[in-house]
Amino acid sequence: MPGPVRSYFTLDDRRIAIIGEVYDLSGLRENGQDYVNVVDLRRGTTDEQFEVIKPFDIFDAVTLGPELMVVSVKYSGLVRWNTRDMYGFDWRVKGDPVEYLLAGGKDSILAVYFQRDRISLISPSDGRISAEARLSAPATGKPAWDGTHYYIPAEGKVMILDADLRASSEITVPGLIGEARVHLAGKGVYLVDMDSVHYLQR
Amino acid sequence: MRRFFWFIVASAIVLALQAAAAGASGWEVRVPGIADSAVVLGGGIAVASGDSVSLFREGSLEWAWKAEDRVREVAAGTDGSVFAAFGSSLAKLSAEGKPLWVSDTYELAYSVHVLEDGMILVGYEYGLLAFEPVRGKLLWEHYAHEECDT
């Protein structure tokens, strides 16, 4: 039975990639979603479905252009897809499973592994790791990139790293507890957990 | 539900006053049971908790709107508006927190995404719905199962 669409990745003004769930399958899995479709925004029809990453168990994805999508999949690892050819892929790199993917600086992709205290920069051209770092504390949510720095939420603080993953600073945020999300807004950053909203000036 | 709504409003006002007294470098507000949040065009952050959507700006509660069911998702519109998914409905709230329209999503909504041209995408129980932003008219439905042989 088809399930809900959970994530959206803009490709161009006519197409969007979506990640969704299929109930019969997702019930069998601990994590992830079950398909990647490219939808035609004019009619709501499927342009392509990414078939290469079967069996599906998708953790996250990132787009760096209309024909450049990198998907993190449980069994396949990181896979780059051109969003056009349902059976084609540009590269595939197996390694530790990646929970979060984020378009970052220097044309790189930030990968946060499931341990959440290890991150790396992935080159979109070949999938190789160009830099790695250990965080001072496990991330408690998906990071954000403001054009010069990464903002990574952690228990009671936000860690700020430069484009090469060097620690730039940390800001203590008392009361930031558990899973958190980061929103960048103008000169500020919002950190939101289950019971509080924190605003910091950048 | 009504008591919970006013508890959120009162808590936010008290804590916003405390935050304002603490200085201008930042602020904090306590909102129990946050389900989702979205930064709003023009400033501020919309927060879904319980059956309410609250808009905070510079540590102050700007407005709060009460839905008929638990609000699961919020998203920012391209004109300062806020979209809220609750129960099997999608509401558009003005920049001042006034409801402009409510549309049927058939079943629970699990995600809301607003495109640059204003089109609203709603991931609901069985796929994807697209709405136009002015009146909330349903544009199309997408069902993965027709093409998805997973």
Evaluate whether A133 touches A151 at the Cβ level (below 8 Å): no
Please calculate the CA angle B15-B77-A173 and round it to the nearest 5 degrees.
30
Instruction: Return mean pLDDT, chain B.
Output: 86
Q: Which of B78, B73, B65, B76 is nearest to B89 (CA)?
A: B73
At residue A53, the pLDDT reads: 73
Residues A35-76 pLDDT 10s: 888 999 999 998 888 877 776 789 999 999 999 999 999 888
How many Å apart are CA A146 and CA A113, to the nearest integer?
A: 21
Give the ipTM of the model, two decimals please.
0.91
- DSSP state string for B6-48: HHHHHHHHHHHHHHHHH-SSEEEEE-SSEEEEEEPTTS-EEEE
Nearest by CB: B145 against A2, A41, A183: A2
Evaluate whether A32 touches A53 at the Cβ level (below 8 Å): no
How many Å apart are CA B15 and CA A2, to the nearest integer?
A: 43
How many Å apart are CA A135 and CA B15, to the nearest integer?
A: 32
Contacts of A38 in chain B (CB under 8 A): none
Category of B137 on φ-ψ map: left (φ > 0), alpha (ψ -120 to 50) or beta: beta
User: Which residue blocks in B1-150 are alpha helix, DSSP H?
Assistant: 2-22
Q: pTM of the predicted model, to two decimals?
A: 0.89
Cβ-Cβ contacts under 8 Å between A and B: the total is: 135
How many Å apart are CA B38 and CA A17, to the nearest integer?
A: 21
B130–A200: do the CB atoms touch at under 8 Å?
no
Evaluate whether A23 touches A1 at the Cβ level (below 8 Å): yes
CA distance B48 to chain A (A): 10
- Over residues B117-137, the mean pLDDT reads 94
| Residue B61 confidence (pLDDT) above 90 | yes
Partner A contacted by B115 (CB < 8 A): yes
Contacts of B141 in chain A (CB under 8 A): 44
| Residue B11 confidence (pLDDT) above 80 | no
Residue ranges of chain A with per-residue pLDDT less than 70: 1-2, 23-32, 55
B126–A2: do the CB atoms touch at under 8 Å?
yes
- What does the buried/exposed string (b/e) look like for B64-87 if buried means 16 or more CB atoms within 10 Å of the residue's CB? bbbbeebbbbbbbbeeebbbbbbb
CA of B46: which chain A residue's CA is closest?
A197
Residues B36-49 pLDDT 10s: 999 999 899 999 99
Nearest by CB: B127 against A5, A34, A41: A5
- Over residues B134-142, the mean pLDDT reads 96
Residues B12-43 pLDDT 10s: 554 544 444 343 379 999 999 999 999 999 89
Evaluate whether A183 touches A189 at the Cβ level (below 8 Å): yes
Report residue B10's pLDDT band, with 50, 70 and 90 as the boundaries.
low
